[in-house]
C-alpha cells in the first residue's frame, strides 16, 4: 500500500470526523441562543438533520454534485454511489464516474464521507435562522430537498467540474459552496416564515430576545472552531504537509482576529463586549477564511478575519433594521461572510501559497479578472439557491404548512412539537408576552428580557 494514500486517507477521514462534530457545535450554538421553551425542538432539528442529509446525499445528492455530466449537474453515478474506484492508487486512467474528484487518491467512500459532512453543514446552517417558529416536519422536508437537489447543483458548478470552475472561480473549502448556500436557503425561509411573535413591535420597535444558555452557546462555538480545523485543512483531501499546516494557521488566525474585530465593534457600538457578538465574530472569521484559506498569506488571513468580525456586528444590526428575524445570527455569519470570504480570494490571493491555482488577487497585483470570476460565482449561486429555496419553502407552506400555530409558538415548540421540556426540574422565570397582555412599557426596546411567556406553573 502506497504510504501517501494511507496518510491521505487518515487525514481525510479524521478531518471529516471533525466536520461531522460541527453538528454538535451548531446544535449548541443555536439552542443556547434561543429560548428554553424551544430547546428540545432545536436540539431535535440539529440532531435529525444530519440523518436526513446522510440519506439525501447518499441517494441523490452525491451523484448530482460529483457525477460526470454537463456543466450544470452530474448525470453519471447517480443514485447512491458506485462504479470503479481505480485511481490514482493504481496509476491507471480513471475509470469511475466522478472525474471531478479524482484528483485525490483516497478511496471513493472516503471522498463520499468527507463530502457528506459538508453537505450536512449547509443544511444545519438553515436550522438556526428558522428557529422558534418552524414546524418540525417542514424543516425535515426542506432539509432533504436542500441536500438532495439545491446544494449539489450549485456545488457541481464549482467543485463538480461545472461552469463556474471553468470560469476560474475559486472557493477552496466552501465559503460559497457551503456557507452562503446555507445562508441563501435560510434567507428565503426566513422571508417566507416571517419573524417570531414579539420580535418586532407594531410601533416599529425591535426587541432583543436573549438566548437561554450562553454556556451551551459557548460550548458550541468552541466545537465549531475545532471542527473548522477539519473543514479547511481537510479540504486538501491529502496529507500535504506544507499546505495543511498553512491552512491550520490561516484558519485559526482569522478566527482570532474575527473575535477581536467583533468584540471591539460591539464594545464601541453597544457599550459592552457582548459574548454573543464575540462568538459570532469567531464564526464570521472562520466562514470568511474558508474560501481563501489555501490561497492567502497569514497576514492577509488576520486582516480578513478582523474585517469579518466587524462586518458580522454591522450585519446583525442591519438585519434587525430591515426586520429580518434571524434568532441566532446565521445570515450575518454564513451568508454575509460567505460572500465576503469568496470576494477575499479575488482581493488577497497570492500565487506563492498554492502555485498554479488562483494566481494573485487584486491587492497583490493580479488585476480584477479573478475578482470578477468570484463575483459572478457569488451572484449566480445566490440567485439560483435563493430562488430554488423560495420555491421549495413556498411549496411546503402551501401544502403541509410551514409555521406552528400562534398558541404553540407562545407556549413553546417543545410541548407542541415534541411533548416534553428540555429542563423539567428547573423553575422557568415567569414573564409575559407584550402582544397578548399589552401595556406600553412592554413594547419598549428595553423590556426584551420580558418578552417571554409563562410556560410552567
Q: Are 170 and 345 in contact (CB under 8 A)?
A: yes
Shortest CB 439 distance to a copy of itself, Å: 17
Which of residues 208 and 318 has its CB atom nearest to a copy of itself in the complex?
A: 208
Question: Which residues inside 144-183 make contact with a copy of itself, applying CB under 8 A?
Answer: none
Q: Using CB under 8 A, pick the residue from 10, 269, 383, 391 that binds a copy of itself.
A: 10
Q: DSSP label at 429?
A: P
Phi/psi region, residue 77 (left: phi>0; alpha: psi -120 to 50; beta: rest), is left
Of 368, 258, 356, 360, whose CA–CA distance to 315 is shortest?
A: 258
Is 222 one of the binding residues for a copy of itself (CB under 8 A)? yes
| DSSP letter string, 230-244 | HHTGGGG-S--HHHH
Shortest CB 214 distance to a copy of itself, Å: 4
Which of residues 372 and 450 has its CB atom nearest to a copy of itself in the complex?
A: 450
d(CA 124, CA 261): 25
Question: Which residues inside 51-110 make contact with a copy of itself, applying CB under 8 A?
Answer: 51-52, 54-55, 58, 80-81, 85, 106-110
The interface region with a copy of itself, picked from 21-29, 96-104, 154-162, 370-378 by CB under 8 A, is 21-29
Shortest CB 429 distance to a copy of itself, Å: 5
Q: Are 374 and 334 in contact (CB under 8 A)?
A: no
Which of residues 3 and 440 has its CB atom nearest to a copy of itself in the complex?
A: 3
Q: Using CB under 8 A, pick the residue from 94, 363, 364, 423 that binds a copy of itself.
A: 423
Which of residues 24 and 97 has its CB atom nearest to a copy of itself in the complex?
A: 24
Which of residues 282 and 378 has its CB atom nearest to a copy of itself in the complex?
A: 282
Shortest CB 96 distance to a copy of itself, Å: 14
Of 380, 359, 357, 375, whose CA–CA distance to 157 is shortest?
A: 380
Is 224 one of the binding residues for a copy of itself (CB under 8 A)? no
Of 4, 30, 33, 15, whose CA–CA distance to 251 is shortest?
A: 15
Shortest CB 205 distance to a copy of itself, Å: 19
Q: Using CB under 8 A, pick the residue from 100, 296, 422, 447 that binds a copy of itself.
A: 422
Is 259 one of the binding residues for a copy of itself (CB under 8 A)? yes
Question: Which residues inside 266-325 make contact with a copy of itself, applying CB under 8 A?
Answer: 270-276, 278-279, 282, 298-299, 302
d(CA 49, CA 143): 7
Which of residues 135 and 374 has its CB atom nearest to a copy of itself in the complex?
A: 135
Per the DSSP assignment, residues forming a β-bridge with 206 are 200
Shortest CB 207 distance to a copy of itself, Å: 13
Q: Where does 57-180 have alpha helices with state H?
A: 62-66, 108-129, 136-145, 151-159, 163-167
Which of residues 23 and 374 has its CB atom nearest to a copy of itself in the complex?
A: 23
Q: Indicate the burial class of 403 (C-beta count within 10 angstroms; 0-12, 13-18, 19 or more).
A: middle
d(CA 135, CA 107): 39
Q: Are 280 and 262 in contact (CB under 8 A)?
A: yes
Q: DSSP label at 332?
A: I
Residue for cell digits 402582544? 435
Count of residues engaged in binding a copy of itself, rule: CB under 8 A:
112
Q: DSSP label at 427?
A: P
Q: Using CB under 8 A, pick the residue from 236, 377, 421, 442 that binds a copy of itself.
A: 421
Is 265 one of the binding residues for a copy of itself (CB under 8 A)? no
Amino acid at each position: 500500500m502506497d504510504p501517501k494514500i494511507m496518510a491521505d486517507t487518515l487525514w481525510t477521514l479524521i478531518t471529516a470526523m471533525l466536520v461531522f462534530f460541527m453538528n454538535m457545535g451548531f446544535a449548541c450554538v443555536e439552542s443556547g441562543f434561543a429560548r428554553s421553551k424551544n430547546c428540545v425542538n432545536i436540539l431535535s432539528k440539529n440532531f435529525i438533520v444530519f440523518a436526513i442529509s446522510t440519506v439525501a446525499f447518499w441517494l441523490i445528492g452525491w451523484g448530482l454534485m460529483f457525477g460526470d455530466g454537463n456543466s450544470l449537474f452530474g448525470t453519471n453515478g447517480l443514485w447512491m454511489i458506485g462504479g470503479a474506484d481505480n485511481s490514482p492508487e493504481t496509476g491507471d486512467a480513471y475509470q469511475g464516474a466522478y472525474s471531478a474528484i479524482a484528483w485525490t487518491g483516497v478511496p471513493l467512500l472516503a471522498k463520499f464521507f468527507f463530502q457528506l459532512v459538508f453537505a450536512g453543514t449547509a443544511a444545519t446552517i438553515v436550522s438556526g435562522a428558522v428557529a422558534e417558529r418552524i414546524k418540525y416536519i417542514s424543516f425535515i422536508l426542506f432539509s432533504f430537498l436542500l441536500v438532495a437537489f439545491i446544494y449539489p447543483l450549485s456545488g457541481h458548478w464549482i467543485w463538480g467540474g461545472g461552469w463556474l470552475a471553468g470560469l476560474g472561480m475559486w472557493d477552496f473549502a466552501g465559503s460559497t459552496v457551503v456557507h452562503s448556500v446555507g445562508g441563501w436557503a435560510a434567507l428565503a425561509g426566513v422571508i417566507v416564515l416571517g419573524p417570531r411573535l414579539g420580535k418586532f413591535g407594531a410601533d416599529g420597535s425591535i426587541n432583543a430576545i436573549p438566548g437561554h444558555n450562553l454556556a451551551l452557546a459557548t460550548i458550541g462555538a468552541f466545537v465549531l472552531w475545532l471542527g473548522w480545523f477539519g473543514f479547511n485543512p481537510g479540504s486538501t483531501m491529502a496529507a500535504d504537509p506544507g499546505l495543511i499546516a498553512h491552512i491550520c494557521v490561516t484558519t485559526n488566525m482569522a478566527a482570532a482576529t474575527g473575535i477581536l474585530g467583533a468584540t471591539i465593534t460591539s464594545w464601541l457600538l453597544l457599550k459592552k463586549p457582548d459574548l454573543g457578538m464575540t462568538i459570532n465574530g469567531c464564526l464570521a472569521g472562520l466562514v470568511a477564511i474558508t474560501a481563501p484559506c489555501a490561497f492567502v498569506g497569514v497576514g492577509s488571513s488576520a486582516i480578513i478575519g478582523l474585517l469579518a468580525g466587524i462586518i458580522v456586528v454591522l450585519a446583525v444590526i442591519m438585519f434587525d433594521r430591515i426586520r429580518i428575524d434571524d434568532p441566532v445570527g446565521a445570515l450575518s455569519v454564513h451568508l454575509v461572510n460567505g460572500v465576503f470570504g469568496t470576494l477575499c480570494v479575488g482581493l488577497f490571493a497570492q500565487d506563492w501559497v498554492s502555485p498554479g491555482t488562483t494566481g494573485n488577487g487584486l491587492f497583490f497585483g493580479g488585476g480584477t479578472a479573478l475578482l470578477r470570476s468570484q463575483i459572478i460565482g457569488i451572484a449566480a449561486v445566490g440567485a439560483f439557491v435563493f430562488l430554488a429555496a423560495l420555491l421549495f419553502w413556498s411549496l411546503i407552506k402551501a401544502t403541509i404548512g410551514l409555521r406552528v400555530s400562534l398558541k404553540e409558538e407562545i407556549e413553546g415548540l417543545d410541548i407542541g412539537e415534541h411533548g416534553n421540556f428540555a429542563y423539567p426540574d428547573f423553575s422557568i422565570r415567569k414573564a409575559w408576552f407584550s402582544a397578548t397582555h399589552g401595556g406600553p412599557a412592554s413594547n419598549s426596546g428595553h423590556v426584551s428580557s420580558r418578552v417571554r411567556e409563562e410556560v410552567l406553573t
